[in-house]
Structure 1
Amino acid sequence: MDRTTRQSGARRRGGPAGALTLALALGIGLTLTGGAGTARAAADVNVAKNAGFESGLANWTCTGGAGTVSSPVHGGTAALRAAPGGQDTARCAQTVAVKPNATYTLSAWTQGGYAYLGASGTGTTDVSTWSPGSSDWKQLTTRFTTGANTTSVTVYTHGWYGQAAYHADDVSVFGPDGGGGGDPDPVVPATPAGLTAGTVTASSVTLNWNGVSGATSYHVHRDGARVQTVSGTSATVTGLAANTSYSFQVSAANAAGESARSAAVTARTSTTPGPGPSVPRHAVTGYWQNFNNGAAVQKLRDVPAQYDIVAVSFADSTTTPGQIVFNLDPAVGYASVADFKADIAAKKAAGKSVIISVGGEKGNVTINSDASATAFANSAYALMQEYGFSGVDIDLEHGINSTYLTRALRQLSAKAGPSMVLTMAPQTIDMQSTGTEYFKTALAVKDILTVVNMQYYNSGSMLGCDGKVYSQGSVDFLTALACIQLEGGLDASQVGLGVPASPRGAGSGYVDPSVVKNALDCLTRATGCGTFKPSKTYPALRGAMTWSTNWDATAGNAWSNAVGPHVHNLP
């Protein structure tokens, strides 16, 4: 969300509009492999070194935005994470030793945003392949033949301009040894250690364990039966009975086989939760500015009754990673903090939810460890207790770590209880696929999530769920992008349309309230659609959000007066 008025296009990102065409021309791939059924000569080896990134970026040359992570991984304990930025596609390359006049199979596993894999300097025809992104690990494969005098080839991977970060792991370049040797064949991994039970709900238990070198997957066992297979070092087992004790174990696996099961850990689910958040079936969310940027300055009491959820913008970070505080800005005109708290209490008495928003355009909170996750949960809960906030809004626009943000939100939920309101406001690029960190977080906390109000502005053109590119500012842009979330696993009640309240509220992407109403009708009633028509209707769609109540007030509350009643009258 904007803390200041942006100039048109100030926050535009290069969307995939041109990427699809250019990708076909520049297709670069990272994962190429022969597959289980491909026969190879006995002497063939994987001539790539540090193919699983277990030794960081050793043997690889990468441009900015690249590093290794411990989660998610396809195998072992590490994987490449590379984030394109500006004119940098986050390219990682390695020169491998090859034999002349020989054929090699190149492969790798990728996850996340656009990923390209290829080989250059082959002496014959250079090759490449690519993936438009995937929420699961996907293997890319291609082959190349070396020239008569070729003794080295460069293999590489990269992402694409303006797209989400990609992950890559377990690269292989199988063929005759060119003199440099290769990575050894896998052996059965060791038994996982450190299994612990984390957050529990009435129907789920979250498990965490230590990674095992050489493992490509982990099997989760409940009461002796395998119930889940994951690639990372955590899992949430769902579908459990309330107030029931379960025993869990984990084993590690790769192509060579499966390890013995870990020591068992026991966890008991909580009792059946009480009623959910007191948010209407169809709700309007508005961000209230705790600063003066030229929009109308207002107190919470001045926010129109059409708003069901009011997100106070924003919390501030501290020098302690993950920790947040709130500082009431004198510019908004409150005589005291007590007066502000009284307004929150009055809104809640009127049936509204007032929540604290974390992040925004200039704000950021780092949650990338267990310690920072706990610091966030503790400090956010402290603010809820001190001010009377009903929950939190996640509006982090500078990147998130889904693993630790999920842990933080679950810890907070365990403290606050089932009435906590949890909203999110990702940018369009953050919800293009279920493999993005934001989407993964939303799905991981689906059982406690109230609504995701994606920001349909300041983004440029984006892909819809039908694979077509749509320009912002149209009914099609709103409906085709909402469709990605609706088909990607979120419940319709957890999807809202986030738009600016006035042309001054954002640099680009403002649409007339009539367009918002048409989009809502298209998604819920199959009327008012543009060229894109959803395959079915979603009558439970939560509603709409706007930045901000202040910019709405500046324009005479035209947005809430038009969109509010329409949302509340949805089926």
Structure 2
Amino acid sequence: MHPHSPSRAVRSARMVAAALLLMLFPALAAAADRGAWAPGVAYVVGDIASYGGKGYDCRQSHTSLVGWEPPNVLALWLERTGNPPADTQAPTAPTGLGAPSKTFDSVSLTWGASSDNVGVTGYEVFVNASATASATSASASATVTGLAANTTYTFTVKARDAAGNRSAASAAFSTTTPTRPLPDTQAPTAPGSLRSTGVTSSSVALAFNASSDNVAVTGYEIFVNGATTPATTSTTLSATVTGLSANTTYTFTAKARDAAGNRSSASNSIAATTSNTAPQGSKVLVGYWHNFDNGSTNIRLRDISSKFNVIQVAFAEPVAGAGSGTMGFTPYNATVAEFKSDIAALKAQGRKVLISLGGANGTIHLDDAAAKQNFVTSMQGLINTYGFDGLDLDLEGASLALNGGDTDFRNPTTPRIQNLIAGTRQLLNANGSGFLLTMAPETAYVQGGYAAYGGPWGAYLPVIYALRDRLTYLHVQHYNTGTVTALDGRAYAQSTPDFHVAMAEMLLQGFPVGGNASAVFPALEPAQVIIGLPSSPQAAGGGYTTPANVQKALDYLMKGQSFGGTYVLRKAGGYPGFKGLMTWSINWDKFTHFEFSNSHRAYLDTYP
């Protein structure tokens, strides 16, 4: 669900029933190097396939489908740590090399993509027949910098694949850089008519008139209370300063800047006062704030939008290997004292701050009593140090799996699952009835247990069942998933209102586990169920759903107001007590100018 990679590395796919049965009855064919991955192929455990220039080992026997490419279904494929299958075929040479733009010291190049029997992994750009590449690129474009003005250069490009094979050179292309321009020392004019266009309890929206410049204005900076560092920047004629305190007066100015770094004088100064903290309805918005830089946005914990009720701090991870049980957490871009102060500030606003365990890279194995005790001791230390309000179990990948013969979710026999339940229960008891427990499983580990129960499929069900009396929210990740079979026997695909309604109602109605009518996972209370979503297309490999389609699903779930989809609610009137939405992540939400939190907070607040 929640990767440490720039867009949060993709998770295991959810299997339709027929494919899930293949896991339980694998093909008898011997494992082999199967070459390039393709749909419609029966793979068995141990098979090797190549995709995108990388090699993958088959983890679960299955017949492949479109959408189940190895990097998208980590439950089925594991990227090889050794060498991929031998590849000696070079890519084709790039074609159509040209320069759509250039400056006095750089040339931007584009070319036609090469092809390869496995996959092109990148390109190398050579200047004036040099043996050493001057630039590399993963796509069919690159910019060569550090050139001399008014000079002719000749470029060629070669493609390469993961095995190190390089193509022949493209046809040579020559171009001359322009003469160096005179330095730009003229600053833009000051922005005019700075004004406030709206306030909330934690933000002030501003607008201003455009500046002019002898070359071009490239952006604007907003300053608060005379600070020398801008509070925010904008490339348009408006900006919103966030992270402010409620019922407080702030003074703002704006400056324009150009590409040469020249800044205008300050605009007129204005004062604006934030509102008191607005009351919110009964629905909650849960957001993950990640403790690492993955290319989204770095944001101080105290500056999180007031629209989030529950903040999941991601992640606490094992510090001495997956099986040690000893957990650690180090604040990012803040000292321990600053981070504790930020948590205290959020709690003073009536919000809950939880510590989330695991994530895509934080594999946790509590295989014995010693690991369980290390887990309890180290987690209690983190809770005491930072004052967390609760615990979130975000265990993914190999963290949870059912051992062979573990067939009853009500009485699990897998030590890893037994110890997780016991350790979590110990922490809940030690921290009192007000201590929150949330979980963020992938669909394969919950709804996937409807079609098959074993291995990863349904592996979260015994944990949820055993701790349901203390479970505050279950927000299954409705993303980075393949199709999943719902209560009506149909398979639904992510990113659609049908998928969100169908997956949520499985938890609200209960379902027979592994198709066994005598082993029904009981329904959760509507107030315990939340839908988990990516806040932007960049936040996950798949599953982003537009706010309009999310709200269609919620109208149906909470009001019984149909949008005309395929899935039909078992409870025609809906579930008014359904609790809300979760997102990965708060950081990506800020990156996309708060589209998720602004639209969905306003929608959720229409409910009492």
CA distance in 2, matches of 1:355, 1:280: 21
Work out whether 1:427 is the aligned partner of 2:442.
yes
Instruction: For 2:359, give the aligned amino acid.
Output: G
Matched, 1:503 2:525: no
Is the Cα–Cα contact under 8 Å of residues 282 and 607 in structure 2 kept in the other structure?
A: no
Which letter maps to 1:448? R
In structure 1, the partner of 2:267 is none
Structure 1: 5+ residue stretches without partners: 31-61, 66-84, 91-159, 165-278
Q: 1:498 to 1:515 in 2, by over 3 A?
A: same
Instruction: Give unmatched runs, 5+ long, in structure 2.
Output: 28-43, 48-56, 63-72, 78-279, 401-415, 511-522
1:16 maps to what in 2? Answer: 16
2:328 is the counterpart of 1:325: yes
Q: Which residue of 2 aligns with 1:478?
A: 500
Rg (Cα) greater in structure: 2
1:161-560 pair list within 5 angstroms: 281-319=282-320, 321-329=324-332, 332=333, 334=334, 336-397=335-396, 398-400=398-400, 401-432=416-447, 433=449, 435=453, 436-488=458-510, 489-529=523-563, 530-536=565-571, 537-560=574-597
Q: Which amino acid aligns with 1:511?
A: T
Kindly provide the amino acid, as one letter, of the partner of residue 492 in structure 1: P
Change in Cα spacing, 1:364 to 1:562, as seen in structure 2 (3 Å) is same
Structure 2 CA distance for partners of 1:369 and 1:346, relative to 1, 3 Å? same
| Alpha-carbon shift at residue 373 of structure 1 (Å) | 2.2
Q: Which amino acid aligns with 1:544?
A: L
CA distance in 2, matches of 1:363, 1:564: 30
Note the alpha carbon deviations across 1:393-443, whole angstroms, 9 max, x for none: 111102323322111110001111111111111011111237522122111
Render the CA deviation track for 1:448-474: whole Å, top value 9, x for unaligned: 111111111111111112221001110
Distance 2:45 2:543 in 1: 32
1:481-510 alpha-carbon deviations (Å, 9 max, x no partner): 111111222211111110100010011110
Deviation at 1:318?
Answer: 2.1
Aligned to 1:212: none
**Residues 340 and 476 from structure 1, CA distance in 2 versus in 1: closer, same or farther, beyond 3 angstroms?**
same
Instruction: Specify whether residues 444 and 12 from structure 1 end up closer, same or farther in structure 2 by C-alpha distance, changes over 3 A only.
Output: closer
- In 2, the alpha carbon distance for the partners of 1:520 and 1:459 equals 20
Kindly provide the amino acid, as one letter, of the partner of residue 304 in structure 2.
Answer: V
CA distance in 2, matches of 1:163, 1:293: 25
The structural deviation recorded for 1:325 is 1.3
Partners in 2 of 1:161 and 1:302 — Cα distance?
A: 34
Q: Distance in 1 between matches of 2:384 and 2:281?
A: 23
Partner of 2:607: 570
Percent identical residues: 35
Amino acid at match of 2:599: A
Distance 2:486 2:586 in 1: 28
- C-alpha contact 2:46 2:59 (8 A) present in aligned 1: no
CA distance in 2, matches of 1:484, 1:473: 17
Q: State the Cα distance separating 1:479 from its structure 2 match.
A: 0.8
TM-score (norm 1): 0.54
Conserved? CA contact 2:26–2:61, under 8 Å: no
Q: How many residues align?
A: 332
| Residue aligned with 1:315, SS | strand
SS at match of 1:539: coil
Say which structure, 1 or 2, has more relative contact order (CA 8 Å, 6+ apart).
Answer: 1
Report if aligned partners of 1:310, 1:355 keep a CA contact under 8 Å in 2: yes
Q: Give TM-score, length-normalised by structure 2.
A: 0.51
Q: How much has 1:12 moved relative to structure 2?
A: 5.5
CA separation of 1:64/1:555 partners in 2, compared to 1, >3 Å: closer, same or farther?
same
| CA displacement 1:55-105 (0-9 Å, x = unmatched) | xxxxxxx9679xxxxxxxxxxxxxxxxxxx836439xxxxxxxxxxxxxxx
Q: Distance in 2 between matches of 1:405 and 1:281?
A: 31
- Cα pair 2:45 2:59 within 8 Å, conserved: no
Residues 543 and 10 (structure 1), Cα distance of their counterparts in 2 relative to 1, 3 Å cut = closer
Q: Is the 8 A contact 1:317 1:325 kept in 2?
A: yes
Please say if residues 475 and 582 of structure 2, whose CA atoms lie closer than 8 Å, have aligned partners that are also in contact: yes
